[in-house]
Amino acid sequence: MTQATLIDAIRMAMDEEMGRDPRVFLTGEDVGRRGGVFRASQGLFDKYGAERVVDSPLAELSIIAIGIGAALADLRPICEIQFADFIHPAFNQIVNEAAKFYYRSNGEWRVPLVIRSPYGGGISGGLYHSQSVEAFFAHVPGLKIVIPSTPHDAKGLLKSAVRDPNPVLFFEPKKGYRAIKGELSEDDYTVPIGPARIAREGRDLSVFAYGMMAHYTTQAAEKVARTDGIDAEVVDLRTLLPLDKTAILDSVKKTGKALIVYEDNRTMGYGAEVAAVLADEGFEYLDGPVRRLTGLDVPAVPFSHHMQEFFMPNPDTIAEAIRELAGY
Amino acid sequence: MTQATLIDAIRMAMDEEMGRDPRVFLTGEDVGRRGGVFRASQGLFDKYGAERVVDSPLAELSIIAIGIGAALADLRPICEIQFADFIHPAFNQIVNEAAKFYYRSNGEWRVPLVIRSPYGGGISGGLYHSQSVEAFFAHVPGLKIVIPSTPHDAKGLLKSAVRDPNPVLFFEPKKGYRAIKGELSEDDYTVPIGPARIAREGRDLSVFAYGMMAHYTTQAAEKVARTDGIDAEVVDLRTLLPLDKTAILDSVKKTGKALIVYEDNRTMGYGAEVAAVLADEGFEYLDGPVRRLTGLDVPAVPFSHHMQEFFMPNPDTIAEAIRELAGY
Amino acid sequence: MTNHIVERASARLNESTLLEMFWGMLLSRRLDERAWALHRQGKIHFHISGMGHEAAQVGTAFALNRGVDYIHPYYRDLALSLAVGITPTDFMMSLFGRKDEYSSGGRQMPSHFSSKDKHIISGSSPVATQVPQAAGLAFAIQYRQKCGLVDPNDTSQPRLALACLGEGSTSQGEWHEGMNWAGVHKLPFICLVQNNIYAISVPLESQMAVANVADRATAYGVAGVVVDGNDVLAVYDVMVQAVQRAYSGGGATLVEAKTYRPVPHSSDDDDRSYRSREEVAEWKKKDPIMRFQNSLLEDGILNDSLLHDYESRARAEVDKAQADAEAAPLPDAEEVFGSVYAPLEEQP
Amino acid sequence: MTNHIVERASARLNESTLLEMFWGMLLSRRLDERAWALHRQGKIHFHISGMGHEAAQVGTAFALNRGVDYIHPYYRDLALSLAVGITPTDFMMSLFGRKDEYSSGGRQMPSHFSSKDKHIISGSSPVATQVPQAAGLAFAIQYRQKCGLVDPNDTSQPRLALACLGEGSTSQGEWHEGMNWAGVHKLPFICLVQNNIYAISVPLESQMAVANVADRATAYGVAGVVVDGNDVLAVYDVMVQAVQRAYSGGGATLVEAKTYRPVPHSSDDDDRSYRSREEVAEWKKKDPIMRFQNSLLEDGILNDSLLHDYESRARAEVDKAQADAEAAPLPDAEEVFGSVYAPLEEQP
Ligand SMILES: Cc1ncc(C[n+]2csc(CCOP(=O)(O)OP(=O)(O)O)c2C)c(N)n1
Ligand SMILES: Cc1ncc(C[n+]2csc(CCOP(=O)(O)OP(=O)(O)O)c2C)c(N)n1
Ligand SMILES: [Mg+2]
Ligand SMILES: [Mg+2]
């Protein structure tokens, strides 16, 4: 057990899985000598060589398609998309291909593929280095989507992703790469894909979040506990697809109120589905409206400082939303 | 006023707009001599010539990108994507480019572009000729999304789309191309993008739908009115982005109950947003859970008959869902 | 572009192999004709045809290690798929969307060939997606060899990947990116473009500004070859070279087989709006099956009675396939739910 | 690939134009250097540089009808954008993300050039998206001419579209599809590839299996030219030909300017992990500004005192631009909401 950052955990997971299984390889732009633009694969090129840490041409759809082909041939590719904003050229390969192979072949052809990509705002990246893209893919049965918010989960979930026989999108809150720190075990453990994690138990209301927002929400919940005596339960969804409905419904059954926090723009963001599930299956538990605190409905996160900060929820605005709902 | 089909209305709208404005042109696969695989542009090649009805190479991203470039240069392109299932290669151009030009240039560069595409199941098209794709794009501020369900609306909305200074996705329920008939005026009228249409007034519950499902829902509502005395209000959303929140909230304020019908797969389908809006802003009006009747959460609509039929809602299953909710 | 056939590999084919090739083409054609007939009779919803493309496909199949090398076909590849082991009954089951249909359990439209067993990759409808995926399969082959996970000479292992598509589909970015990987990594990869000069209604000159698709090979640093796609032995010859190149670490080849589609694009199409009847009639004279048949007859390898036998056998196989498929049940509605996710235990 | 310069258009350039070109390169360089300095001082978040690329860009700009022809630049095109009319203050306002910043109101990262007035199209960060869009601009030019909406010789109207990108970005399907339209429709289009042999850390040979990007022109039936991108007049010469081709209906040209990036990819990069200091030093000797400066000095067009004036003027302009930008306010947070949709009245 050591203290480590989110990106350390991701690197350790890749390293361990490459060490464990010679079929695991990494490809993407600048993943080789450069070790990735965020240094997620630092050292792996030297350790495993150019055969297994492969600098791709600058072309995302083929990064994914090569991964799909290699996965069909029973390798275990980890494909890095440098920024989630650049995953869109590969949309067809992910949605029409990776997600549908197993179904379209009636269970014959599997695509054990991991797609890793940093996402989210707050790093002065402007419109094209700040996007959240999970909502698009959460609409696609056949994919799994994982977003970790702690080093422990990041490592364990990434290792599960590599071992999963299905295509897994693994989105990493880049603002947290170095900002989020926590305990990290060097053991060969996994964290299962699927179950949400109760980040903080509480009785007054439930807050659902993931990624950087799960981190912020936990901070906000601690704060309102101290300052306002509000006891918020924080549920870190961790896996977005498939959604852990039981965890959501159980929590709201207990608290009667739900707030969903995501930094993506509001309309049709992931929280829409969480809200829809609650409005249907959780209706009888609800003592108040299902609130969403979200990024703004503008095309993307602006570069300039004030606009960027205003776009995204933060611990203060989350605390405020908790107070408002608790007082409903 | 004549009786006409949905596809007649679409053809008439394009014809009129091309006649009105020499900047309007059509491009896409097989739109020229062939008149489109569904014959939406039949006759236009002969009438307006190869300059204005342009067979594109087989490459969707460039169909859209050429449209974007031409729109930036102040032409009025109508780009046809042969089947909505094939829009995914153009995802990057639509989401990162068309949707963001106006915002990213602080209002300098506009993209007055129309993207037309047939979508939806029920025509034995299997996994790749049956998809609904509106949910992906409904998450993208900067786009407008229109889905007509009557010939009158199809013509009026398509003409509005051509005249709109923003990129408009115009999705056409292909099962209804010839199956949906109605009054069609030869006047130069438009139907505004934005407002929903009350397809049937009712007091007992509200049903929200669009496209083929709006058509089916109206049938189902008439049926339950006769057989069960249930008075359902049917709201044809018509414009998905921006969503007509007022219409939704007003209807549920009156009826207290909401059912949302869409043929796309359930999770993160468009109805999730409608449900989320109701669960928040409409919470105090709700006398029952917000139900969704939807396509199934499988990767796409299967080819073989029974599976295809089972995938999609139809007037009977909609009637059943209305009864269930009315009885809540 | 290299197009020098130094020695004709086909000259070494024995009579029985030549007849096997002929049989493969004939069977595909008769099955294909039956599909059109079934559609006219309203018995099936949809057919998309490989007619006219049989030489390109059979010539290719016979140059491969069939059932072992990976192939990622497209919807016209009926003759190719039959040559690799799909049966007429399999195909008929697809046409009728039957339960337990071999490729997808009735989920996909017909002509979306797939068999894990025979190393035929499941195809989708969006064109050209198979090209970078097949480059990925070739990458995996090379990876295993480089990393010492497999012996490069083990003939029980796939040693190349083949992707097929039409000329129109090379306009897709997918094709460019797949070809580029094949070039950069010198992958054991073959891209077979079946150039029938139309993409549905769109003629070649509206599709690209080059005379030959194979001219595009230079852009990727791979070998490019144009071949008469109606001449099965000519196709076989260039494919043998391409296969050799792949097996020996020489990299990828782009093969362009020039051919024609004598029928509409699919059962949903009517080709009269975009091409003349004269053009179609002219091309039908170049029919690859008649051509091969005549040359086999001339060479005395085939004779009328043998031909008659083949025709009867083909009819019998097609009849039986149709009867079996018609008798088979449809999938239950609930089968729609199966196989969305592979279970965790089922680690491939 | 055609690379025959029959006559050197640059031979006809007068001294004042040559000096204007030099000034454009110098100003761009000094502004660029200041940006690096500001980043080191922690005053700005991000800089991505055009250093080393000035000759390719200024040689190009001077061959165009500047401010009229459409240009769709990429992030290295500082010298190009300045030559077309962006000011040092405009650029500084971007670096500082100021209110009323010219390109995007502070929404975009710096070096995302845009000006409707000057026919500079707003660029995004995803590489190569501008290529098929610029083909669309060229398509619109041709459309207006063909449909009689504009006089093809009206020099107040755009008569070609230029797209710029790096060599790595030609791996994208976007590039393929844009080039293909340009070829099929013989569009008045120029694609300038600034080949600096790296895409961030990825060297040319991991990017493509051809020696020259311009070798790819044949795949699209367009003209392809390789030029020394560090020689501003050589670039000008090939561009004049490309422009003539476009204006006269002769179709598109792919121009590859060979150059180098002497600095890291951006202020976020550290290039020591992927290239040697010797390699960088070697290339710096070929610096396009020093090269042009020496030749102008040799030819007596430039002299030390004039050079000194230019340097002072550049410093003054850069100082003033910085001061103005630093003094300007930041956008208000609420400006985040503006211009999501163009209002209906505002029909362009
Ligand atoms: C991405 C995509 N766009 C459009 C289609 C519709 N479509 C199916 S086949 C076809 C033409 C294909 O032409 P070509 O590649 O030349 O192959 P051919 O059918 O002539 O053998 C088109 C446009 C598709 N299947 N996929
Ligand atoms: C679609 C996309 N993928 C990845 C990136 C990240 N990225 C920015 S610049 C760059 C390298 C570009 O290389 P090249 O095209 O050679 O241009 P250069 O920067 O060398 O001038 C990369 C990978 C991006 N901007 N867009
Ligand atoms: Mg074809
Ligand atoms: Mg470069």
pLDDT tens, residue by residue, A90-146? 999 999 999 999 999 999 999 999 999 999 999 999 999 999 999 999 999 999 999
- Give the distance (Å) from ligand 2 centre to CA of residue D169: 6
Do B26 and B148 belong together in one domain?
yes
Give me the domain span that covers residue B92.
Answer: 2-184
Write out the two tokens for D99: 């209110």
Nearest CA among B248, B296, B312, B253 for reference residue B276 = B248
Domain map of chain D by residue range?
9-329
Query: Nearest-CA residue of chain A relative to B89?
Result: A92
Give the Cα separation of D62 and D240 in Å (integer).
Answer: 9
Pairwise CB contact (< 8 Å): D116 & B108: yes
Residue C327 scores a pLDDT above 90:
yes
- The answer to whether D181 contacts chain C (CB < 8 Å) is no
Region of C238 (left: φ > 0; alpha: ψ -120 to 50; beta: rest) is alpha
DSSP secondary structure, A136-174, as one string: HHTT-BTBEEE---SHHHHHHHHHHHHH-SS-EEEEEET
Q: Looking at the partner chain, which of D208, D333, D340 has a beta carbon nearest the beta carbon of A299?
A: D340
**Is beta strand B232-236 parallel, antiparallel or unpaired with respect to B197-200?**
antiparallel
Q: Helix, strand, coil shares of chain C as percentages rounded to 5?
A: 45, 10, 40
Give the pLDDT of residue B1. Answer: 73
Q: What distance in Å separates residue C112's CA from the closest CA in chain A?
A: 9
Nearest CA among A298, A220, B112 for reference residue D331 = A298
Q: Looking at the partner chain, which of C45, C171, C174 has a beta carbon nearest the beta carbon of B57?
A: C171
Give the pLDDT of residue D346. Answer: 58
Query: Nearest-CA residue of chain D relative to C220?
Result: D209
Q: Please identify, among B142, B159, B184, the residue that sits at the C-terminal boundary of a domain.
A: B184
Does residue B7 lie in a domain region? Answer: yes
For domain D9-329, say whether CATH 3.40.50.300 is its number. Answer: no
Pairwise CB contact (< 8 Å): C114 & A69: no
Q: What distance in Å separates residue A272's CA from the closest CA in chain C?
A: 23
Spatial CB neighbours of D143, under 8 Å, sequence gap ≥ 6: B25, B51, B70, B75, D149
Pairwise CB contact (< 8 Å): B165 & D149: no
Q: What distance in Å separates residue D185's CA from the closest CA in chain C?
A: 8
Nearest CA among A263, A323, A243, A320 for reference residue A288 = A323
- Nearest residue CA, atom 18 of ligand 1? C166
Q: CB of C166 closer than 6 A to ligand 1?
A: yes
Q: CB of C200 closer than 6 A to ligand 1?
A: yes
Residues C325-348: what's their mean pLDDT? 89
Does residue A116 lie in a domain region? Answer: yes
Residue C74 scores a pLDDT above 60:
yes
**What is the rounded average pLDDT for all residues in chain B?**
98
Q: Kindly give the residue spans of alpha helices, DSSP state H, lying in chain A.
A: 6-20, 44-48, 60-72, 91-92, 101-104, 134-137, 151-163, 176-179, 212-228, 245-255, 270-281, 305-311, 315-326
Does residue A190 lie in a domain region? Answer: no
Cis omega (within 30 of 0) for bond into C348: no
Kindly report the CA angle at C73 between C70 and C75, in degrees rounded to 5? 160
What are phi and psi for residue C166, nearest 5 degrees?
-90, 165
Do A231 and A289 belong together in one domain?
yes
Residue C1 scores a pLDDT above 50:
no
| Tokens 């009689």 sit on residue | D148
Residues A174-182: what's their mean pLDDT? 98
Could you give the maximum distance between any two Cα atoms of chain C, in Å? 59
Q: Which residues pair with A78 in a beta bridge?
A: A26, A114
Nearest CA among D187, D87, D84 for reference residue D133 = D187
Residues of chain D predicted below pLDDT 50: 1-2
Chains in contact with B, counting 3 or more C-beta pairs less than 8 Å apart as contact: A, C, D
Does residue A191 lie in a domain region? Answer: no
Give the Cα separation of B295 and B308 in Å (integer).
Answer: 10
The amino acid occupying position D259 is: T
**What is the rounded average pLDDT for all residues in chain A?**
98
Q: Please identify, among B159, B184, B209, the residue that sits at the C-terminal boundary of a domain.
A: B184
pLDDT band at C348 (very low <50, low <70, confident <90, very high): low
Q: What distance in Å separates residue C224's CA from the closest CA in chain A?
A: 21
Does residue A189 lie in a domain region? Answer: no
Query: Nearest-CA residue of chain A relative to B98?
Result: A299
Of C127, C192, C196, C202, the one to substitute when testing ligand 1's pocket (max ligand atoms within 8 A of C-beta) is: C127
Spatial CB neighbours of D35, under 8 Å, sequence gap ≥ 6: D44, D47, D49, D91, D95, D110
Do A69 and A207 belong together in one domain?
no
Query: Nearest-CA residue of chain B relative to C107?
Result: B302
Residues C74-91: what's their mean pLDDT? 98
- The answer to whether D6 contacts chain A (CB < 8 Å) is no
The predicted-structure confidence for D38-51, as pLDDT tens digits, reads as follows 999 999 999 999 99
Q: Which atom of ligand 2 is nearest to the CA of D165?
A: 15
Does residue A68 lie in a domain region? Answer: yes
Does residue B192 lie in a domain region? Answer: no
Give the Cα separation of D35 and D43 in Å (integer).
Answer: 9
Do A203 and A281 belong together in one domain?
yes
Chains in contact with C, counting 3 or more C-beta pairs less than 8 Å apart as contact: A, B, D
Give the pLDDT of residue B202. Answer: 98
CATH code assigned at A277: 3.40.50.920
Spatial CB neighbours of D108, under 8 Å, sequence gap ≥ 6: A126, A127, A302, A303, B104, D94, D114, D122
Does residue B208 lie in a domain region? Answer: yes
Known catalytic residues of A? 129
Spatial CB neighbours of C211, under 8 Å, sequence gap ≥ 6: none
What are phi and psi for residue D50, nearest 5 degrees?
-105, 10
Give the pLDDT of residue C345. Answer: 77
HEC secondary structure over chain D: CCCCCCCCHHHHCCHHHHHHHHHHHHHHHHHHHHHHHHHHCCCCCCCCCCCCCHHHHHHHHCCCCCCCCEEECCCCCHHHHHHHCCCHHHHHHHHCCCCCCCCCCCCCCCCCCCECCCCECCCCCCCCCHHHHHHHHHHHHHHHHHCCCCCCCCCCCCCCEEEEEECHHHHCHHHHHHHHHHHHCCCCEEEEEEECCEECCEEHHHHCCCCCHHHHHHHHCCEEEEEECCCHHHHHHHHHHHHHHHHCCCCCEEEEEECCCCCCCCCCCCHHHCCCHHHHHHHHCCCHHHHHHHHHHHCCCCCHHHHHHHHHHHHHHHHHHHHHHHHCCCCCHHHHHCCCCCCCCCCC
The predicted-structure confidence for B16-57, as pLDDT tens digits, reads as follows 999 999 999 999 999 999 999 999 999 999 999 999 999 999
Cβ atoms < 10 Å from Cβ of A130: 28
| Domains of chain A: total | 2
Give the pLDDT of residue D1. Answer: 42
Q: To 10 degrees, the CA torsion angle through A122, A128, A131, A133?
A: -160
Do B59 and B167 belong together in one domain?
yes
Do B83 and B219 belong together in one domain?
no
- The answer to whether D177 contacts chain A (CB < 8 Å) is no
Write out the two tokens for D173: 């399907």
Burial of A147 (0-12, 13-18, 19+ CB in 10 A): buried
Give the pLDDT of residue D345. Answer: 78
Pairwise CB contact (< 8 Å): B23 & D141: no
Give the Cα separation of D322 and D326 in Å (integer).
Answer: 6
Q: How many residues does the structure list for chain D?
A: 348
**Coil, strand or helix at B110:** coil
Do B149 and B235 belong together in one domain?
no
Q: How many residues does the structure list for chain A?
A: 328
Give the Cα separation of C237 and A3 in Å (integer).
Answer: 63
The predicted-structure confidence for B203-239, as pLDDT tens digits, reads as follows 999 999 999 999 999 999 999 999 999 999 999 999 9
- Nearest residue CA, atom 19 of ligand 2? D199
**pLDDT: which is higher, D23 or B1:** D23
DSSP secondary structure, B36-82, as one string: -TT-TTTTHHHHH-TTTEEEPPS-HHHHHHHHHHHHHTT-EEEEEPS
Residues B125-146: what's their mean pLDDT? 98
Spatial CB neighbours of C16, under 8 Å, sequence gap ≥ 6: none
Q: Please identify, among A184, A205, A224, the residue that sits at the C-terminal boundary of a domain.
A: A184
Tell me, yes or no, if B129 is annotated catalytic.
Answer: yes
Give the Cα separation of C163 and C169 in Å (integer).
Answer: 12
Residues A183-206: what's their mean pLDDT? 98
* Residues of chain A contacting D, Cβ within 8 Å: 29-30, 32-35, 37, 55-59, 61-62, 85-86, 88-89, 124-129, 296-299, 302-307, 309-311
Contact C99, C105 (CB under 8 A): yes
Give the pLDDT of residue A307. Answer: 95
Give the pLDDT of residue C73. Answer: 98
Residues A22-36: what's their mean pLDDT? 98
Burial of A323 (0-12, 13-18, 19+ CB in 10 A): middle
Q: Which residues pair with B79 in a beta bridge?
A: B27, B115
Residue C347 scores a pLDDT above 80:
no
Cβ atoms < 10 Å from Cβ of B281: 15
* Among the ranges given (B295-309, C3-17, D50-64), the one the predictor scored with the smallest mean pLDDT: C3-17
Give the pLDDT of residue C338. Answer: 87
pLDDT band at A61 (very low <50, low <70, confident <90, very high): very high
Q: Which atom of ligand 2 is nearest to the CA of D128?
A: 1
Give the pLDDT of residue B261. Answer: 98
The ipTM (two decimal places) reads: 0.98
Cβ atoms < 10 Å from Cβ of D84: 24
Kindly report the CA angle at D320 between D319 and D322, in degrees rounded to 5? 65
Number of helical H runs and strand E runs in chain C: 11, 7
Spatial CB neighbours of A190, under 8 Å, sequence gap ≥ 6: A156, A157, A159, A160, A163
* Residues of chain B contacting C, Cβ within 8 Å: 29-30, 32-35, 37, 55-59, 61-62, 85-86, 88-89, 124-129, 296-299, 302-307, 309-311
